Amino acid sequence: MTILPGATIGVLGGGQLGRMIGLAAHRLGYRVAVLADAPDAPGALVADRVVVGALDDAAAAATLGREADVVTLEVEHVDPAAAAAAAVHAPLRPGLLALRTARDRALEKAFLVAQGAPVGPHAVVETDADLLRALAHTGLPAILKTTTEGYDGRGQRSVCSEAEAVAARAELRGQRLVVEARLDLALEVSVIVARGVDGATIAMGPFENAHRDHILDVSTYPAASLDPVRSREAITWAGRLAAALDLVGLLCVEYFVTRDGRLLVNELAPRPHNSGHLTIEAFAASQFEQLVRAICGLPLALAQPRSAAVMGNLLGDLWTDGDPDWVGALAVPDVHLHLYGKRAARPGRKMGHLTALGADLAEAVARLRTARAALRDRSLSQRAAGSAAGRGAPR
Ligand SMILES: Nc1ncnc2c1ncn2[C@@H]1O[C@H](COP(=O)(O)OP(=O)(O)O)[C@@H](O)[C@H]1O
Ligand SMILES: [Mg+2]
């Protein structure tokens, strides 16, 4: 049954992804309810109704479900029991299989292996003896990752020796871990697929992703460093994995391309993804609009790119000398600012992003570079202010 505009979309999670889901939903005429940890969370600030609660609060999730016609999620750290409590009252899209699989790295790896998807050497460990066996298999250097709740590189330790690995396991409080060989990466890319209730899919990407300190720094479209064969492979696997999860909504597949040329699946996210933010300006429909369409049973939009684009994250580190110079950044042509409404700027915290478009990728990248430099340097905004409507800004 189609869930038509005017109905209420419930979102588990109140972060920036929930905020951008809410903005897209509003544009299509839906109401939005969110489960957020605070009334001023980024997603809560744009919602019609806020249920304040944690992502493992089953009673709060049930309240959200009762108020919604369909429930989706913006993070995979939702407790499956809470998601199930919401799903009693409204369809949960994506469903519990996708949530359970993506929130636990061990289950995710097992799923990928079962599907025959290409993955790097890895093992699941619970004890020091397991750990030493795992390292014999993966080799060194290796990366230890907690199975749940890691993000933006949190819950990960890179190790170069057995002794370091044992110490790192202790630091990670001896939780169940996935140990991976630390791969020699040529590049990282991602594909986001939207899959409808009827199983129809569209793919966005591949996007090329550069990380800094394990946090996404910049994403570009097109992925200029990826060859066409691997690009098709990445799209094919994303569609296949979404179907295998029987997922309705979005699936982002993060990939590694190793220096010896292998395309490997890194991880899955059954939700909008940071690497797809540039779809807001650069595609005929954004990842957020595609999500709304998918979960409501509406036709998916064409995934038609309109422009080359590059997205750069704005982390809290930028705020060390007060507010960045927004005026200067916006004086750069075809640069678009997104701020998430977070009050406290902490280092490493995603506060917003910039997307720059261009006639080609080189132009988009040059504009992003200029805009980012302007954030820390007031001279551009002074030039913009000195000329009517910013006409003195660099072209
Ligand atoms: N096995 C690995 N080999 C090399 N680099 C890795 C490996 N695992 C993670 N990384 C780097 O760390 C980043 C974050 O790791 P990821 O597993 O995607 O966790 P999350 O995005 O949840 O923090 C990756 O995008 C990649 O840059
Ligand atoms: Mg990742």
Domain ranges in the chain with CATH number 3.30.1490.20: 121-181
Atom of ligand 1 nearest to the CA of 152: 23
* Of the options 3.40.50.20, 3.10.310.10, 3.40.190.10, 3.90.1150.10, the CATH number for the domain spanning 8-92: 3.40.50.20
Identity of the highest mean pLDDT range in 146-155, 280-289, 379-388: 280-289
Q: Cβ(182) to ligand 1 under 6 A?
A: yes
**Number of C-beta neighbours around residue 217 at 10 A:** 13
Q: In what order do the strands lie in the sheet with 201-212?
A: 263-269, 249-258, 185-195, 201-212, 215-221, 308-315, 350-358, 335-339
Given a cut of 90, is residue 236 above it in pLDDT? yes
Atom of ligand 1 nearest to the CA of 183: 3
Distance between Cα 53 and ligand 2 center (Å): 26
Confirm if 178 and 220 have CB atoms less than 8 A apart: no
pLDDT for 152: 84
383: confidence class by pLDDT, cuts 50, 70, 90:
low
> Which region among 82-91, 169-178, 302-311 has the lowest average model confidence (pLDDT)?
169-178
Distance between Cα 217 and ligand 2 center (Å): 12
Q: Write out the two tokens for 203.
A: 């793919």
pTM comes to 0.95
Provide the β-strand partners of residue 32. 9
Least Cα distance to 263 among 236, 224, 303 occurs for 236
Q: How far is it, in rounded angstroms, from Cα 290 to Cα 22?
A: 13
Q: Cβ(76) to ligand 1 under 6 A?
A: no
pLDDT for 126: 95
Q: Cβ(143) to ligand 1 under 6 A?
A: yes
273-299 burial string, b = 16+ CB within 10 Å, else e?
bbbbbbbbbbbebbbbbbbbbbbbbbe
Given a cut of 70, is residue 214 above it in pLDDT? yes
Atom of ligand 1 nearest to the CA of 120: 1
The 3-state DSSP class for residue 369 equals helix
Distance between Cα 153 and ligand 1 center (Å): 7
pLDDT for 204: 98
Given a cut of 80, is residue 174 above it in pLDDT? no
Among the bound ligands, the one closest to the CA of 102? 1
More confident residue, 120 or 384: 120
Domain ranges in the chain with CATH number 3.40.50.20: 8-92
Q: How far is it, in rounded angstroms, from Cα 41 to Cα 62?
A: 20
The 3-state DSSP class for residue 195 equals strand
Residue closest by Cα to atom 15 of ligand 1: 153
Q: How far is it, in rounded angstroms, from Cα 354 to Cα 247?
A: 30
Percent of the chain's residues with pLDDT above 70: 96
User: Where would I find the beta strands (DSSP E) of the chain?
Assistant: 8-12, 31-36, 49-52, 70-73, 122-125, 142-146, 156-159, 177-181, 185-195, 201-212, 215-221, 249-258, 263-269, 308-315, 335-339, 350-358
395: confidence class by pLDDT, cuts 50, 70, 90:
very low
381: confidence class by pLDDT, cuts 50, 70, 90:
low
Atom of ligand 1 nearest to the CA of 211: 27
Confirm if 79 and 66 have CB atoms less than 8 A apart: no
pLDDT for 48: 98
pLDDT for 377: 84
90: confidence class by pLDDT, cuts 50, 70, 90:
very high
Between CA 243 and CA 251, with CA 245 as vertex, the angle to 5 degrees is 80
- CATH of the domain spanning 185-390: 3.30.470.20
pLDDT for 384: 62
Q: Cβ(183) to ligand 1 under 6 A?
A: yes
Q: Cβ(348) to ligand 1 under 6 A?
A: no
Given a cut of 80, is residue 390 above it in pLDDT? no
Q: Cβ(266) to ligand 1 under 6 A?
A: yes
Given a cut of 50, is residue 276 above it in pLDDT? yes
Q: Write out the two tokens for 370.
A: 């200029």
Least Cα distance to 4 among 297, 282, 254, 339 occurs for 297
Structural class in CATH, domain 121-181:
alpha beta
Rounded mean pLDDT, 45-61: 98
Residue closest by Cα to atom 2 of ligand 1: 182
pLDDT digits (tens, 9 = 90+) for 181-191: 999 999 999 99
Atom of ligand 1 nearest to the CA of 105: 17
Ligand 1 pocket test: pick from 76, 119, 140, 143 the residue with the most ligand atoms within 8 Å of its Cβ: 143
150: confidence class by pLDDT, cuts 50, 70, 90:
confident
394: confidence class by pLDDT, cuts 50, 70, 90:
very low
Given a cut of 50, is residue 242 above it in pLDDT? yes
Average pLDDT, the chain: 95
Within 8 A by CB and 6+ apart from 369, the residues are: none
